[in-house]
Amino acid sequence: MVKRFSNTLNPQKLILLTLFGLLLGTHYGSSAAMIGANTARTVNLSNTFKPFNLAAPSVASVFKADHLNDSLNREVIILSNQVAYNLDGPKSAMIKHRRPLPGILKFEILDAVTLKSVFSGKLGKAQQVTDWDLENWYSPAGFTAFHQPGIYKIQLTVQGKKYQSYDFKIEDKAIGKIGIPAMVNFFNHQRANSEEELAADKQVRLFGSEQTVDLRGGWCDASGDISKYFSHLAYTNYMLPQQIPIVDWSMINTVEQVPELLDEVKIKDKLQDEALYGADYIMRSLSPEGYFYMTVFSYFDKDPNARRVVGLLADSKTTSDYQCAYREGGGMAIAALARISRWNKNGVFSSAQYLAAAERAFAHLQKFSTVYADDGKDNIIDDYCALMAASELWIATGKAEYREQARKRALNLKNRLSPEGYFIANDAGRPFWHAADAGLPVIALARYLDIEKDEVQRKMALQVIKTSLDYNLKVTHHVINPFGYARQHFLYRGKIKEGFFIPHENESGWWWQGEDARLGSLAAAALIGGRLVYPEKREFGVKRELAVYASNLVSWILGNNPYNMCMLYGYGKNNVPYMRSMYGHGSGKGGISNGITGKDGKGDGSGIDFKVEDHGNEWRWSEQWIPHTSWFLQAVTAMSVNPKVSSNSKASVNSKQ
């Protein structure tokens, strides 16, 4: 996601655009079928592209978006997850108030239909987060003990005045049943399959060359950016996010981890098709030489023929450095292809072609990854991405060469642990912090443990996971933190600091935004890693502290945050304004927005901020980005797994094989 122009619509314009779009929707819904050479079958890339039907909000929600922050003007606000709580998981809400509340107050859970009280509890101790502001107090309302399915709201009476939360659902695996279909439909909406994109990408030019390649397919990066990325921010060396390849790997993971739930909500076939669609794009992105093309960049130009395959620097400066290193999307691309090859299902390409391509790309990157890396050497991102690639190839082939490479990368991660428990990104003591993939080292180690049987190797990897999770809990609760927001260490002006949000002054020179992907990745890591090192027969199959940690992060995204904002677009009560893009693209129902940041203007990321209008910079908070949704998919999947059948849980049980 790169710097862009303002593209947020006011409500009146959006109503007109929506009505106009409904009239023209059938025109945009048709595109030419794609025919692949040497294919197993032919797939129509455009047959599900319905930009207005899927993306445009209702008129009612448009007016609602114009008054997003009305609730923030009240003396007392009940903040909650605005979508759903899992029946047997941790459940909490937060009372936000501007002055201390009188005495010991009780809150009630009301049936949203009958308004009858069905549960009551005492508010927790009021606290201030002094790093954010000195104006607001927060009092937690915990109701984990309530286990009755239904639709509810929270009510609090203060000096005779009643305050209520928005409605929410409680049901077994409710977040997965609602969230997973929403996200699958979002990714379907994000397909880069308009007529303009398909025609241009069939013969898109390489930067600085007349050579063209066929890069049809894939997903648009964001609600305001129709470019397609394996990764970006490569010039920073340490901030690169995993983009299209990790989206595909996440889909594959969900299909394998929760098949019964997918069948129950009738989304399994659609998710499988979406994952195969993603794998086909990764296949097209593999060059004859063996590297992956990193970016198809639009330049934010309405002319689709302006698109180029590029490497990307700051301020949208482009280069011919478009070859992916492990950390630049190459590792996760290999992992996705290797993993999906085990399905024995064909997309445009066959399962055998997926595996052969993964092996060819791995062999190439073993020789050239550091050549493609901007600083010419591996860092932690290469380690966890290459670990994922080697592990998936080991699982898919059983070959010893992949086993040895996986063990090497796992050892590298172990050697990068600091005494405090956070990872070191490089060889010079820089703490590893990441706006998107903070949980990926643990996820990669957990996937490695799905195949590793050697007791010594397992013990080492399990200790790394335990140390990392212990650190996450410790740093999060090192200060008053009523929401349980995940904190971190980072390097700022030569000194190691800790805080809630990533520093705005960083190696990129300009890039910072909301961190919902980071929260999703850490929630997933807490549950997947926790089942290996802290397994318990309780909610989510982990010890209570990790279950609460993960639930807090998911609920923050779904509305239990100081801005009373649900970041899952089209769900909950308060959403960000609609953001439009080119070729009928824009905000999609079921997508996750960037989210909350440190205070604008604070280089160290201190304070707190969220804006829906900021002279073109509101994208930092309100724009949808596919890594956010990808990581939220992983987190919700981890919440929806029955721990007794989780492959990662089995790895823990069999740790002495």
Reported as a single tens digit per residue, the pLDDT across 434-485 is: 999 999 999 999 999 999 999 999 999 999 999 999 999 999 999 999 999 9
Q: Indicate if the pLDDT at residue 62 is higher than 90.
A: no
pLDDT at position 72 is 83
Annotated domain spans of the chain: 11-58+173-649, 76-171
SS (H, E, C) 229-288: ECCCCHHHCCCCCCCHHHHHHHHHHHHHHCHHHHHHCCCHHHHHHHHHHHHHHHHHCECC
Q: What is the CA radius of gyration of the chain?
A: 24
pLDDT at position 69 is 58
pLDDT at position 1 is 60
Q: Indicate if the pLDDT at residue 616 is higher than 50.
A: yes
In one letter, which amino acid is 229? Y
Q: What is the pTM of this model?
A: 0.90
**pLDDT grade for 18, boundaries at 50, 70 and 90:** very low
- What digits encode the pLDDT tens for the residues 617-644? 999 999 999 999 999 999 999 999 987 6
Lowest mean pLDDT among 19-28, 280-289, 545-554: 19-28
Is 76-171 CATH 2.60.40.10? yes
Task: Give the CATH number of domain 11-58+173-649; options: 2.30.42.10, 1.50.10.10, 3.10.150.10, 3.30.70.270.
Answer: 1.50.10.10
> Distance between CA atoms of 381 and 245, rounded to whole angstroms?
14
3-class SS shares of the chain: helix, strand, coil, % to 5: 40, 15, 45
- What digits encode the pLDDT tens for the residues 216-263? 999 999 999 999 999 999 999 999 999 999 999 999 999 999 999 999
> Distance between CA atoms of 260 and 246, rounded to whole angstroms?
23
List Cα–Cα distances, 97 to 127, 136, 444, in angstroms.
10, 6, 41
> Distance between CA atoms of 333 and 260, rounded to whole angstroms?
27
